[in-house]
Structures are given as structure tokens and as C-alpha cells.
Structure 1
Amino acid sequence: MTSLSKTQMIRLGLLAGGVGLLAGVAAAVMLWSMQRASALVWSVGDSSWYILAVAMAGGVLIGVTRHFGATDSVDEQIAALRDPIHIHRRKALLVGLAAVIAVAFGGAVGPEAGLLAVVAELTAAIAIFLRRSHADARIIGEAGAAGALSGFYGSPLGGAAYADDKPEAPRALLLLAGLCGLLGFLLAGRLLLAGGFHRIALPDYAQPGDGSDLLLAVVPALLGAAVGVAFLFALPAMKGLVQRFVPQAFWQPVVGGVAFGLLAALLPILRFSGHHEIGTMLEWAAAAGMATLLLLGLLKVLAAVLCLSTGWLGGAIFPLIFSGAAAGASVLAVAPGIHPSVAIAAGMSGAATAGLGRPIAAVLIMLFVVDSSLFGPICVGALCGYAGSLIAPKPEAH
């Protein structure tokens, strides 16, 4: 972008900050609606037959939205936000509805798609109402994405970096939008969201100060990176199979719902994004063997792949964080001398970085997900994950 005068920067800063604040509030409201819908769906029970029935019903409902045009991934929505004036309103609403259904009906996906769909509507309305130029409209769209993702991840730096690696807006404006987005999300979340959403509670950890934790983090980081790389190879392969054997847009999420439902009925912990299920996983991880935990991590990858490849819209970061946590924790079965938090944080960072292909964004997000005392193991995981992503198909942000 060309250099801007001080007056222009102030004007754009006010615009980006205001849009980011509104996007953060909108993200919190959308997340609340997803949580309410999910609570309603699962209030009946969680028996195996009900899990399968819910997944099948979710697939049918998502199929209806796809029949009418809801086909965007998270990557495509971020790209669309660069030109918010031309966002198709009806399609954005359908994408948002499909994302709510995917989350509410237990899909192994994060809620990012729904949040961005709402922000797309918001930024388009702002750009049109203010009658901004095309360049300003792009900045509005990028600020909206940065604000929503920064609020959701609890990381202004991470959200801004993830929202767009080649932005039209100066990065300072995206950071400002991210900070305002986090503020808006926290203010609205305090009123709407029950309990903390971002933090993952791990056993208390004190850094040894001698660098030994970095060496001990290598193996769990490699295992976490491995499940992330498995995701990168499995997703395009599964998409190819789905396109070949189920070319109709309506039937893809239906078939995905059946396949995912059967898997989740056998192992209910595979439902949802995985963020809130890590605690449950850690409770029985102490008695599980290495192979069992590695299998759990791979099965979570499979669950996410089944959903994402068949049109269950959402993000992959939190499913990968769960997979990485299981892979990292598996080391504890054969090397109990490693601190559990070191192994788990390194595994989570390795898987998330491999899935994103953006080590800086992954580290910044992870620092707000777990305690900052685990910065070293997180960086080790990010290095391993990024190395793994270089040998795998290009990551997508779903």
C-alpha cells in the first residue's frame, strides 16, 4: 500500500478500530448463539444412537444450505472480506447458518466460518453505508476479519497474522483492529459467554531455566507435527474421493454426517472442536498407553477431515490442537520424566503449526491458549510443525 499521511492514518485508524470493535462483539454474539444451539441439540442425551442421529440430521440440514449456495471455506471467506462491497448477502447468510449447524450438531470443526460469515455481512454494510472507496472497503474487510479472529483466539497478534498474510491495510491498522476486536469480544463475552473460552488448563509448570525443557519437548513436538502433517495429506485426498464419488453438493455433507456420526458414536470425545474436550482426554490419558493416545490423535484428525471435506464448515485449529495434545501426551506413557505440560504444549503447537503453515501466527495463538511459561516448548513445537508443513500439501484455513 502507498505511504499515507498522518491525517489519513488517523482516519483509517479510527475506521479500523471501530470495525474491529464491532467485529469482536459480533463474533461473541455468534459464538453465544452457537453455544445455545448446541446446548439445545444435545440436551436430549448423548447415547450412541442419538449421536449418529444428530450427525445425520446435521448433514441433511447443511446439505440444504449447500443446495442454495453455501460453499465457502474459511480461506474463501477471508479472501472475500478483501472486497466486502461485493459480498453476496444471501450466500453469506447461508454460510453462517451452515456453520452454526456444523458446530451445534457436534461437528469436529471450530466456529470460525460462522464468525467470519457474520463479519462479512457487517463489513459489507459498513462499507456501503459509509460509501467508502474500494481501497477503504478492503481495509474495512481486513479489519473485520482481524477483529473477529483476534477476539475468538484471544490473541490480537495471532488473529491479525492469521486473518491475512498479505494485507492491503498496514499491519499496524490490523493490530489495532485486533486489539479492539479482543476488547469487543471480551466485553460482549462477559455478558453472554459462560466460563472462559480461550484458556486450556494444564498442570502448573515452572521453567527450569537450563533449557532442558526445550530438549524434552522435541519428541512430543515431532509427534504433534506428525498428526498435523497427516491432516494436510488426508484432507485433499478425502476431498478428491468425495468429489469423485459424491459430486452432488447436497449429498456430500449427508454422507459426511453418516461417516462422522458412526465414528463419534464409537468415541463421543471426537465430537465438537476439541477445545473443551482436552480436559476429559487428560483425565484418562494417565492410564492410557502411547499407542492409544496416538490413535486418539489420528482419529480426531480423521473426524475433522470427514467434516471439512464434506462441507461441514468450520476451522481446523482447535481439532488439531486436540490431536496434538493427545500425540504429545502419548510420550508420557514411555517417558514419565517429562513434565505433562511440556509434552502437551509442544504437541499442540506442532499440530497447529503444521495445519496452519504459519509458525508466527500459531505461536501467538498458542501463547493465549496456554500459560506463557510454556513459551519454549511452544516454539519447539512450532519449528517442528513448520518443518512438517514444508513437505505436505499447502495448508488451508477452513
Structure 2
Amino acid sequence: MKRFLSLCVAGSYSILIGACVGAITWLFLTLIFSGINLIWYDFIFKINNNYLVLFVCILGGIMVGLCQKYFGKYPKTMSIVLKEFKETKRVEYKSLHKSIISALIILWFGASLGPEAALSGIVGGLVTLSGDLLKYGFKRKEIENDLNEILIESSIESTIGIIFAAPLYGFYSLISNKDKIKKAKTIVYVLTISSGFYVFDLLSKLDNRASFITRFSKANIGKRELLFFIPLLIVGLLLTLYYKKMGSVLNKILKPLDDYKVIKAVLGGGLLAILGIKIPYIFFSGEHELKDIILNWKSLGLAWLLIICFFKLLATELCISTGWIGGHLFPIMFSGITMGFAISIIFGVDPVFSACVVATTFLSAIMENYIVAIFLLVLFFPINLAIFIIISAILGVELIKKYNSTQNNLLN
């Protein structure tokens, strides 16, 4: 009976925490999109003045640089947050205000980045704080310590899942855990993530926000598509090597500016403005711009698709390297899909199939985690491509690991 009551209490808290996480995620995304609409769509794009774009991006660079100088390196990247959680079962929450302010400035001023990095730290930190309070309360009520630990751990894990579902979809923390998953932990996780999904979806419907998910039409798979599967896989891997090499080169070039945070961030803002003025789709993460690419890829033509793909990745890495910290998963997916359309024009392969294989391989190879890539991309592509998503994701991870291992052996 005591165990049953403990589970009921844990379940109630799980639903409450999940609802709070869903609401916080919705509120943060609302602040981001409202700021972007106000600054860019209601003001800058209507005036259509290149000097104004340059001024705003440089102003953003000054503010980002000041945040870097006085706050530190915020927001934390998603990989840092996940590593911190994996090692400590906690996400630090004393610097939440620094993460929130830094993230809003970076995303409001047009960075080619997504919000998932900031959200993972913000919501994870808030749930850790809630978990600390609940842990203290449970001990006072003499509820079993092992159940208490399950509640706190599962709450943070489900938070990561909710973050990935809006804007990403993921079960990274739960699935990647090698330990045996207890029944109680699974129940708590399901309750938390379900209530979070429900509240986020409900609030999104209230403000009529468009979904970040863009569904592709059914792919026509024939002999030509099967013949080009491996070449498309290779294209995704080559994009991975290009992106990683570009990041390495930029970090080396910009290293002398490490002690000059404001100058470095202003340089990033200026270069972002120049790229954004000359090339469409450079600004923002690409999650909403993807719909436009899907509609207009034929009219854009081969040259523009290639330019958009390569320079979108350049803009993303420029932002990260100059202190405009954020998530790179959506820009990566956007660029992979754009490259897939370009390959379709060259070789006459089905465009949806081509975009799917290139984007899946690219995303999974960058993350070196095929589970998250699969769960994310099945939301975008038709069901008849599911098997190709799974194979591309697994091969992308295994081949990039093999390549990295070979390179390390050669260096040693």
C-alpha cells in the first residue's frame, strides 16, 4: 500500500512538472517568435534597407559580446547540458537568467541557429530546481528514497524529451541509458512527457502557431532511387566533413579574438548581415523557412540551392564560432534537405527520397546518434521512407565513427 501511495504521489508530481515544462517551452518559443516578428517581419523586412539589416546585426553583436563578457559562455549547448545531466543527474539552475537573456538576444537578432540549446538548459535547470524542492519534501514525508531519485531523474529525462518534441522529438536520455529501466521510472517518464506534450499542444493551438513540422508528400521509389541510395549517403557524409572542417578552420582563425568578446561577436553579426543580405534563407534556424524551400526549390534552381546549402552552414558555424551560441540541428536538417533537392535536379532522382537520405545521413553523422535522427525525421517524411531513414541514420553514425577512428590512427 505504501509503495502504491508513493507511486500515486510521484505520478501526480510528474504530471504537474510535465505541464509546467510544456508551458515554459511554449512561453519561451512565443517570446522568440514574437521578438523575431517584431524586429524583422514588422520592421526590417518591410523597410527593406540593407544598411538597416547591417546596423541591427552589428547591434546584436554588441549585445551578444557584452553578454559573453559579463555573463560567460551562455546559453550552454545541448551537448554540454546532456553531458552535465548524464554525469550528475542534474542541470545547474543558478545561471538561468544568463541563459535566457543571452538566448533571446541571439535568436532575436537573426542568428542562423535554433532554440533547442537554450531550452535544454533552461527547462532542465527549472526541473532540477523543482526536483530539489520535491526531494526535500519527500524526505520530510519519509517516502522511499529510491522512488524519490526515480522521480527527479525521470523528470529531467522527460524534460529533455519534451524539449526535443518542441522543437525536436526525442527520447535520448531514456533510450541511451544502459541501465535497466525500472517500471516506476517508465511510468513517471510517460506521465511527465505526456502532460508536457498536451499542455504545449494546447497552448500552441490557442495562439494559432504553425507547427514546426513540415510533412513531405509521398516519395516515388523506383530502380533509379535504389541505385542512388549509396551516392546520396556519401553526399550526406561529405556535408558532415565540410561542416566539421569549416568549424575547425573558423575556430583557428578566430582564436586570437577569444579575449575580445565584443569585437568577436560584432564581427559575427556583420558577417551574418552580409550573408543574409546577399543570400536568401540565411537568417533564423530554418524550421519555418523549410516550407518555402519545399514549395520553391524548382524555381530556385541548382546554383541557388547549392549556394543556400553551403552558406547556411557557414552562417551557422560563424554564429557559433563568434559567440552567438545556439542549436545547429535545424540549420543542418534544412541544409541537408536543400542539398537533396539539388542532387535531384542533377540526376533526376525523386526529390523527397533524395532530401530524406541526404538530410538523415547528415544529421545523424553530426549528432553521432541515430536514435534522435530517426525519431525526428520520421515526423517530416512519408511512411514509405521509414526504412531508408533507419538505414541512413545507422550508416551515417557508423561510417563517420569509422572515419574518425581511421583519422585518429593516422595521426597517432
Task: Name the structure 2 match of 1:142.
Answer: 157
CA contact (8 A) 1:150 1:178 kept: no
Q: How has the CA–CA distance of structure 1 residues 289 and 86 changed in structure 2, closer, same or farther, with 3 Å as cutoff?
A: closer
CA contact (8 A) 1:62 1:98 kept: yes
Q: Which has the larger displacement, 40-49 or 112-121?
A: 112-121
| SS, match of residue 269 in structure 1 | coil
- In the alignment, the residues of structure 2 paired with residue 240 and residue 308 of structure 1 have an alpha-carbon distance, to the nearest angstrom, of 13
Q: Which has the larger displacement, 122-131 or 264-273?
A: 122-131
Can you list the C-alpha shifts for 1:236-259, whole angstroms capped at 9, x where unaligned?
432343233333334332221122
Amino acid at match of 1:52: L
- In the alignment, the residues of structure 2 paired with residue 127 and residue 387 of structure 1 have an alpha-carbon distance, to the nearest angstrom, of 37
Q: How has the CA–CA distance of structure 1 residues 227 and 22 changed in structure 2, closer, same or farther, with 3 Å as cutoff?
A: same
Task: Name the structure 1 match of 2:59.
Answer: 57
C-alpha displacement of 1:92: 1.7
Task: Name the structure 2 match of 1:45.
Answer: 44
Gapped regions of structure 2 (runs ≥ 5):
137-144, 406-412
Gapped regions of structure 1 (runs ≥ 5):
394-398
Residue 344 of structure 2 is aligned with which of 320, 327, 332? 332
Task: Name the structure 2 match of 1:257.
Answer: 269
Q: Which has the larger displacement, 135-144 or 351-360?
A: 135-144
Q: How has the CA–CA distance of structure 1 residues 102 and 232 changed in structure 2, closer, same or farther, with 3 Å as cutoff?
A: same
CA contact (8 A) 2:257 2:264 kept: no
Residue 200 of structure 1 is aligned with which of 206, 214, 221? 214
Q: What count of residue pairs does the alignment treat as equivalent?
A: 380
Amino acid at match of 2:361: G
Amino acid at match of 2:240: G
Task: Name the structure 2 match of 1:396.
Answer: none
CA contact (8 A) 2:219 2:353 kept: no
Q: Does residue 1:354 correspond to 2:365, yes or no?
A: yes
* 1:1-398 equivalences in 2 (<5 Å): 12=10, 14-42=12-40, 43-46=42-45, 47=48, 48-71=50-73, 72-81=76-85, 87-89=92-94, 91-132=95-136, 135=149, 137-153=152-168, 155=169, 159-161=170-172, 165-166=176-177, 170=181, 172=186, 173-174=188-189, 176-197=191-212, 199-202=213-216, 204-205=217-218, 213-288=225-300, 290=302, 292-336=304-348, 338-390=349-401, 391-392=403-404
Q: Which has the larger displacement, 223-232 or 212-221?
A: 212-221
Q: Percent identical across equivalent pairs?
A: 19
Q: How has the CA–CA distance of structure 1 residues 303 and 331 changed in structure 2, closer, same or farther, with 3 Å as cutoff?
A: same
CA contact (8 A) 1:85 1:127 kept: no
Q: How has the CA–CA distance of structure 1 residues 131 and 162 changed in structure 2, closer, same or farther, with 3 Å as cutoff?
A: closer
C-alpha displacement of 1:371: 3.0
C-alpha displacement of 1:20: 3.0
Task: Name the structure 1 match of 2:408.
Answer: none
CA contact (8 A) 2:237 2:362 kept: yes
C-alpha displacement of 1:184: 2.6
CA contact (8 A) 2:157 2:173 kept: no
Amino acid at match of 2:326: G
CA contact (8 A) 1:70 1:95 kept: no
Q: How has the CA–CA distance of structure 1 residues 15 and 165 changed in structure 2, closer, same or farther, with 3 Å as cutoff?
A: farther
Superposition TM-score, scaled by structure 1 size: 0.83
Amino acid at match of 1:152: P
C-alpha displacement of 1:183: 2.2
Q: How has the CA–CA distance of structure 1 residues 50 and 389 changed in structure 2, closer, same or farther, with 3 Å as cutoff?
A: farther
Amino acid at match of 1:37: G
- In the alignment, the residues of structure 1 paired with residue 384 and residue 92 of structure 2 have an alpha-carbon distance, to the nearest angstrom, of 42
CA contact (8 A) 1:220 1:347 kept: yes
Amino acid at match of 2:292: T
Q: How has the CA–CA distance of structure 1 residues 162 and 62 changed in structure 2, closer, same or farther, with 3 Å as cutoff?
A: farther
Q: Select the structure of larger CA radius of gyration.
A: 2
Q: CA RMSD in A?
A: 3.1
C-alpha displacement of 1:374: 2.5
Q: How has the CA–CA distance of structure 1 residues 116 and 15 changed in structure 2, closer, same or farther, with 3 Å as cutoff?
A: same
Larger helix share, 1 or 2: 2
Q: Which has the larger displacement, 105-114 or 181-190?
A: 181-190
- In the alignment, the residues of structure 2 paired with residue 310 and residue 174 of structure 1 have an alpha-carbon distance, to the nearest angstrom, of 37
Q: How has the CA–CA distance of structure 1 residues 177 and 308 changed in structure 2, closer, same or farther, with 3 Å as cutoff?
A: farther
- In the alignment, the residues of structure 2 paired with residue 368 and residue 96 of structure 1 have an alpha-carbon distance, to the nearest angstrom, of 28
Q: How has the CA–CA distance of structure 1 residues 317 and 162 changed in structure 2, closer, same or farther, with 3 Å as cutoff?
A: farther
C-alpha displacement of 1:276: 1.6
C-alpha displacement of 1:119: 0.7
CA contact (8 A) 2:336 2:359 kept: yes
Superposition TM-score, scaled by structure 2 size: 0.81
